[in-house]
């Protein structure tokens, strides 16, 4: 790929990080996302673009997964594994962005291997 095309692709990725829609679970709860989470998604997308420039695989971010699962759990009940995944990603996102501390009775600090695979599949989609 020529340098000109690389620059064009990089600019396109930055524009996408700033303006691409936030993917939420269908059901009408997307407009309830907190503003801090929307901002976190934009910043994490930019950071992901920087990692991709250094060779990392481009995936969805933790904040994007948090937003998707947030809207999913408001639409329908989730099973145990997906509840654990949501609480894990919410705990990580809250801590990363300095939001209110996650209550200790619902904070999840670790997932089992199967749950981590499910989370990675969600972020790869």
pLDDT digits (tens, 9 = 90+) for 81-118: 999 999 999 999 999 998 878 899 999 999 999 999 99
* pLDDT, tens digit (0-9, with 9 covering 90-100), for 1-11: 677 777 777 77
Average pLDDT of the chain, as a whole number: 92
Residue 56 has pLDDT above 90, yes or no: no
Structure tokens at 92: 């990580």
CA angle 121, 61, 93 (to 5 degrees): 110
Q: State residue 28's pLDDT score.
A: 92
Q: Dihedrals φ, ψ of 109, to 5°?
A: -100, -10
- Domain ranges for the chain, please list them: 3-124
Residue 4's pLDDT is: 78
Residue 62 and residue 89 in contact, taking contact as beta carbons nearer than 8 Å: yes
């Amino acid at each position: 790929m020529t340098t000109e095309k690389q620059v064009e692709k990089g600019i396109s990725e930055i524009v996408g990080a700033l303006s691409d829609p936030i993917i939420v679970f269908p059901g009408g709860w997307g407009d309830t996302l907190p503003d801090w989470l929307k901002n976190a998604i934009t910043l994490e997308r930019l950071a992901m673009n920087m990692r991709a420039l250094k060779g990392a695989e481009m995936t969805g971010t933790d904040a994007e997964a948090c937003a998707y699962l947030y809207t999913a759990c408001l639409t329908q009940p989730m099973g145990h594994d997906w509840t654990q995944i949501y609480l894990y990603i919410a705990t990580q996102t809250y801590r990363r962005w300095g939001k209110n501390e996650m209550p200790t009775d619902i904070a999840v600090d670790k997932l089992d291997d199967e749950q981590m695979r499910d989370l990675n599949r969600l972020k790869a989609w």
